[in-house]
Structure 1
Amino acid sequence: MSYLKIISKDKKIEFKVGDTLLNILQDNGILAESPCGGNGTCGKCKIKIIEGSINEPTEEEVKHLYKEELEGDIRLSCLVIPTGDLTVELLNTKDVKHKILAEGYMPEFDINPVINKRVHKLTKPTLEKNFSYEELLEEALEIAIYEDDHMLLRSLPEIFENQEVTAIYAGEKFIGVEAGDTSCELYGIAVDIGTTTVVASLVDLNSGKEISSESEINPQKEYGLDVLSRIDFTRTKANGLELLQNSIIDCLNNLTSELCSKNSININNIYEMTIAANATMMHLLLGVNTNSIGKSPYSTVFSRQKKLLASSIGIKLSLFARVYCLPGVSSYIGADIVAGSVVSELDKTDKNVLFIDIGTNGEIVLSKGGELSSCSCAAGPALEGMNISCGMRAAEGAIEGIKINEDGIRLKVIGNKEPVGICGSGILEGISEIVRAKLVGKTGRLKKKSDIEENDQLQYLSKYLIEEDRKRKICISSETKEISITQGDIRQVQLTKGAILSGFYALLDLLEIDMMDLNEVIIAGQFGKHLSVDSLVGSGIIPADLRGKIRYIGNSSKSGALMCLLSKEVREDMEKVAKKIQYFELSTKEGYDKLFTKCLNFN
């Protein structure tokens, strides 16, 4: 027998030589990400070989892994066959033991929810012990009942029709009772409120299992695409704040109702909702004036965690339900980024790790051995398909992939439908391909048609370049309608690139870290997970030298909310990390304008 050692888990596994590493891991309850089922076709089940004897890289591994990865002993676990003792380090894994599989990566944590239930035996009144129901309930629970709890008093006759009563607690605090034994019915909702999207997950608090999730476009978009336009709406519209609050509350209630209906769960058995959001979204959720966020010095009214009755803001759950709002840092580093930092364990690493949440804004956290610094850059909505001439959200008919070669332009369209527009991942890959094909110069200006026609290597591209009214664009499709990438579209992506890249370099400079000293770059966010490494590197958003260090963790904001729902200890960690993150205002950096301008250029 041979032994497999997993250093991140301090665990040894006994195995017989001859099986694949992926099978060995899965047989022992460790599930490495493997969308293709271990067939070697997806390239996702990456693992780092630390020490031991294994087979040489296969052709499929050479195809899926970059040269830098292979040189760094990164392999595909489904194609690795150990021939003896082996030591490995897990990379992108989802461990079934302490993790709930969701849209975003989650580290290991112990399930210990704040909301809990305890069943108590009831003593009925007798002629000899003719106490009131109220007194007998206090005796059973060994606590004093709230004197002003009218709803509890009204429920006592029903409660005493049973032999048992279920008390509901938030930590050790009594919050309500239910007739009979309802201990098996204990649910919560974890929510990520993004500027563009809202995601809600229904969770069984007893088992820790994520049952189902639903999502919607944030209805507040009707009042403005970004946070500044929504802040302005509340300032200029008399009932603007009320409209924005009502729209998000209605959205949460609709998502909750849908989750309950689809999973046959009584909404009265949902006792807590945990919410991660940026500062503006959190203020709007609670109906708190946002004017101070929209003007210098951009202060929030609050940034710490909030605990309140769900009914106090109109969220429809159990009568006893609470809402827990995760803590933030500043006006531009909100609870969503704190959640991502905890999910990524940035405060626990001894390495240099860069975390980037890509969305309407680009929030960046740099961990220098656990020392956390952050900044925010106005990335703009280009990567969401907005402000793009043929842009659209990621829906059926949206072009999400573009490849340019001598055989023509190949498109990947969501739903395999006729293309009707370009979503964020499509525009970024399109720009990356345009840069690679040398259709633009360093400044991002599209080349003249005559210059392309005179270049033997670029002649095949001339048919795609259109010049109209002294303006240029690249036509990528004309099947049902013309879909093009214009010079203006390229500028929009350049602004995004300049914002994110300059923030990236500014933080490195602040902490005196050389780019080559970065150990890892973590990409998070609702849209970040759709942006390929080739597109991020090809467009210049991420420097090419970091290609092999990029890791995706999906919607870490929702993951953080879900972890807070399931763990009192994670909630405490979240609050501590929020206090540790230092915020750096980019505009105060000497020479930042020059840095931003430099970062606009394509290399």
Structure 2
Amino acid sequence: MAFLTIHLKNKTPLKVQIDVPCSAFSAYNKACDLHGLIPKTKYCANGSCGKCSVRIFGNLSKVTDAELKNISQQDLNDGIRLLCQTTILGNAEIFADYSVENMQIEVNGYINHITEFADYKGFGIALDIGTTTIAGLLFKNRSKAPLSLSVLPNPQRIFGADVIARINASMEGHSSELFVLIRDSIDDIIEDLCKKAGCNTEDIGKICISANTTMLYLLTQKDCTSISKSPFYADCLFGFELEAGNLNGLNDGLKKVSFNVPVFLAPCVSAFIGSDTVACILSLNIVQHKTPVMIADLGTNSEMVLFVPSKNGEQAKILCTSSAAGPAFEGANISCGMCAINGAIEKIDVVGGNAACSVIGNVEPAGLCGSGLLDAIAVLRQAGQLDETGSFVINNDEENSESEDEIFEILNFENEEKAIIYRKNSNIIYLSQNDVRAFQLAKASLRAGLECLVNVVAKSFSDVEILYLVGGFAKSFNVANAVYVGLFPNELSKKIKTGGNASLMGAALMLQEKTSIKKACDIASKANVLELGGSELFQKIFIDSMNLKSTN
């Protein structure tokens, strides 16, 4: 076990725990992915291109022939090495000039349905702490429109991509490290928000936070025992204020604002239905609808909500559930996956028989985010290059090796079949068979959760008025492609609306609107949870939903 430190220009160094010996190329790219950086290169030409040259020091392997050929002796003496040719044997440091790219996030622009402004002085900050992403908005008191937006990857990902991995890490003695990681990131966001808005951090008068239950446990450094094992009972559901300087009860907290600034932690429903879900319900105002409405958060935990209004004397119902979809929807654990940041392919269209990729930031593609992954799989299915079981279809007929219907080239290299989504020189972005399987598992988990929710109240999807999609994956979401591969049933195809980051907007409402905190607490107390663990119906639908085909 060792540490790799990446020194950045004008930013706190990044520190990642690594197993040694390991490839410097792999360790570096992993660190960049975890912290939302565009790596110098994600692709390797075995030492011939020289693109992965960096200044690196520490316990390293000897210089290779490829390095001697591509790097001058003076540069070698100065610590320049090729990452793809270097093995890290112990602690190491990389010195580079990298900057965090702006992550893509969709907000509604301003807050609706404010009846009376909340009372605080100066400026306020709304935060949404997700498993993958942290987002913040800064407001002037008594205003509807945010002055600035800031987004960062959640650095706790070094301990795992999902909440279970982080709960385990906390239980294994890493709670202080997890706390410091999230605390420092919030401080970074506060500083960035104030810089963009032209105000001072000492002018912050209030902070409201929505997050899943685990993120709030880690932020407050609470013992995770109760949420770590069955029956997964949360012994704290939050819905209270803390002082910014004392978030963990040990007089440790945020450093960029005054110690006594009130920080409201929005209320949760259960161990796996957090205040982010409550904030979504609040901001989308679904309890005012006269017909059933659903919400699906397309993220790692995939929380889902069904609201059924009162009818024939029956009380209105708020039914919630969650299913562990995994991080594929957010581009994580995919061979060429990445967050929705500059360089991510977010959309793929077929134009004139060729794939046309839309890239965030209009720069050279560096990988696929969640929406790009969905489009790539849908295009492969439509071209007959992927069957409904998720297996690649390769044309072995030499006479017709270049079929007019084929959109992507499928090759067998590194002992695995891969669909080439983008290729330019040594820059290759591809989908592997395992990547397709990861998407299928996430898709089946979400679809099964939605169907189980509807089944409880003896309704069908045809009775649902709207399905709101929220979360980062929903920003560039192609509804037709989602229905085509069976992520959602045909009945919902014309009822799907994107809600952007509804959790963040819910936190903003609690910050700016006087009665919204009470409304959020009422929602949390009235919501019921559908547990999917051990459900035979869930297992049946999950298996049936693995295939990539349109269904009712």
Normalization by structure 1: what TM-score? 0.68
Alignment size in residue pairs: 431
Q: Take 1:357 and 1:295, find their aligned partners in 2: how far apart are those partners? A: 24
1:197 is the counterpart of 2:133: yes
Task: Report the AA paired with residue 204 of structure 1.
Answer: K
Q: Does the CA contact (< 8 Å) of 2:159 and 2:165 recur in 1?
A: yes
| C-alpha deviation, 1:340, in angstroms | 0.3
1:110 is the counterpart of 2:115: yes
Q: Does the CA contact (< 8 Å) of 1:347 and 1:371 recur in 2?
A: no
- Cross-structure match for 2:454: 508
Q: Does the CA contact (< 8 Å) of 2:111 and 2:144 recur in 1?
A: no
Partner SS for 1:393: coil
1:356 is the counterpart of 2:302: no
Q: CA 1:372–1:586 in 2, change beyond 3 Å: closer, same or farther? A: same
Which protein, 1 or 2, shows the higher relative CO under an 8 Å CA cutoff with sep ≥ 6?
2
| C-alpha deviation, 1:406, in angstroms | 5.6
Q: Does the CA contact (< 8 Å) of 1:452 and 1:459 recur in 2?
A: no
- In structure 1, which of residues 280, 285, 288 is the aligned counterpart of residue 219 of structure 2? 285
Name structure 2 gaps, 5 residues minimum: 1-105, 248-252, 310-315
Q: Does the CA contact (< 8 Å) of 2:409 and 2:419 recur in 1?
A: yes
| C-alpha deviation, 1:193, in angstroms | 0.6
**What whole-Å deviation, never above 9, does each CA across 1:355-414 have from its counterpart, x for those lacking one?**
101111111001112411111011111121112111122233222222346632222222
- Cross-structure match for 1:218: 154
- In structure 1, which of residues 326, 340, 347 is the aligned counterpart of residue 266 of structure 2? 326
Q: Does the CA contact (< 8 Å) of 1:421 and 1:483 recur in 2?
A: yes
- In structure 1, which of residues 461, 465, 468 is the aligned counterpart of residue 410 of structure 2? 465
- Cross-structure match for 2:420: 475
**What whole-Å deviation, never above 9, does each CA across 1:484-540 have from its counterpart, x for those lacking one?**
222211111101110000001111111111111111110111322232223322332
Q: Does the CA contact (< 8 Å) of 2:383 and 2:407 recur in 1?
A: no
- Cross-structure match for 1:539: 485
Q: Take 2:398 and 2:449, find their aligned partners in 1: how far apart are those partners? A: 35
1:523 is the counterpart of 2:469: yes
- Cross-structure match for 1:268: 202
- In structure 2, which of residues 512, 520, 531 is the aligned counterpart of residue 585 of structure 1? 531
Q: CA 1:207–1:545 in 2, change beyond 3 Å: closer, same or farther? A: closer
Q: Take 1:212 and 1:112, find their aligned partners in 2: how far apart are those partners? A: 19
Q: Does the CA contact (< 8 Å) of 1:353 and 1:520 recur in 2?
A: yes
Q: Take 2:350 and 2:511, find their aligned partners in 1: how far apart are those partners? A: 46
Q: Take 1:342 and 1:391, find their aligned partners in 2: how far apart are those partners? A: 32
Q: Does the CA contact (< 8 Å) of 1:379 and 1:497 recur in 2?
A: yes
Q: Take 1:222 and 1:338, find their aligned partners in 2: how far apart are those partners? A: 27
| C-alpha deviation, 1:213, in angstroms | 1.7
Q: Does the CA contact (< 8 Å) of 1:397 and 1:413 recur in 2?
A: yes
- Cross-structure match for 2:170: 234
Q: CA 1:260–1:106 in 2, change beyond 3 Å: closer, same or farther? A: closer
Q: Take 1:493 and 1:326, find their aligned partners in 2: how far apart are those partners? A: 31
> Where in structure 2 are the equivalents of 1:420-569 lying within 5 Å?
420-450=366-396, 459-461=404-406, 464-468=409-413, 471-480=416-425, 481-569=427-515
**Identity over aligned pairs, percent:** 32
Q: CA 1:549–1:446 in 2, change beyond 3 Å: closer, same or farther? A: same
State which drifts further: 528-537 or 338-347. 528-537
- Cross-structure match for 1:419: 365
Q: CA 1:391–1:253 in 2, change beyond 3 Å: closer, same or farther? A: same
- Cross-structure match for 1:206: 142
Partner SS for 2:235: coil
State which drifts further: 320-329 or 252-261. 252-261
Q: CA 1:489–1:404 in 2, change beyond 3 Å: closer, same or farther? A: farther
| C-alpha deviation, 1:549, in angstroms | 0.7
- In structure 1, which of residues 323, 342, 353 is the aligned counterpart of residue 282 of structure 2? 342
- Cross-structure match for 2:254: 315
Q: Take 1:278 and 1:425, find their aligned partners in 2: how far apart are those partners? A: 22
Partner SS for 1:521: strand
| C-alpha deviation, 1:319, in angstroms | 4.7
- Cross-structure match for 1:253: 187
**What whole-Å deviation, never above 9, does each CA across 1:1-37 have from its counterpart, x for those lacking one?**
xxxxxxxxxxxxxxxxxxxxxxxxxxxxxxxxxxxxx
Q: Take 2:246 and 2:366, find their aligned partners in 1: how far apart are those partners? A: 43
Q: CA 1:298–1:454 in 2, change beyond 3 Å: closer, same or farther? A: farther
**What whole-Å deviation, never above 9, does each CA across 1:579-600 have from its counterpart, x for those lacking one?**
1111011124233222110011
State which drifts further: 324-333 or 445-454. 445-454
**What whole-Å deviation, never above 9, does each CA across 1:52-88 have from its counterpart, x for those lacking one?**
xxxxxxxxxxxxxxxxxxxxxxxxxxxxxxxxxxxxx
Q: Does the CA contact (< 8 Å) of 1:268 and 1:319 recur in 2?
A: no
Partner SS for 2:494: helix
Q: CA 1:232–1:450 in 2, change beyond 3 Å: closer, same or farther? A: same
Q: Take 1:527 and 1:404, find their aligned partners in 2: how far apart are those partners? A: 21
Partner SS for 1:199: strand
| C-alpha deviation, 1:104, in angstroms | 6.4
| C-alpha deviation, 1:256, in angstroms | 1.3
Q: Take 2:399 and 2:500, find their aligned partners in 1: how far apart are those partners? A: 42
| C-alpha deviation, 1:438, in angstroms | 2.5
Q: Take 1:104 and 1:360, find their aligned partners in 2: how far apart are those partners? A: 25
Normalization by structure 2: what TM-score? 0.74
Task: Report the AA paired with residue 218 of structure 1.
Answer: N
Q: CA 1:524–1:300 in 2, change beyond 3 Å: closer, same or farther? A: same
- Cross-structure match for 2:38: none
Task: Report the AA paired with residue 272 of structure 1.
Answer: K
| C-alpha deviation, 1:260, in angstroms | 2.3
Q: Take 1:205 and 1:388, find their aligned partners in 2: how far apart are those partners? A: 42
Q: Take 1:285 and 1:299, find their aligned partners in 2: how far apart are those partners? A: 18
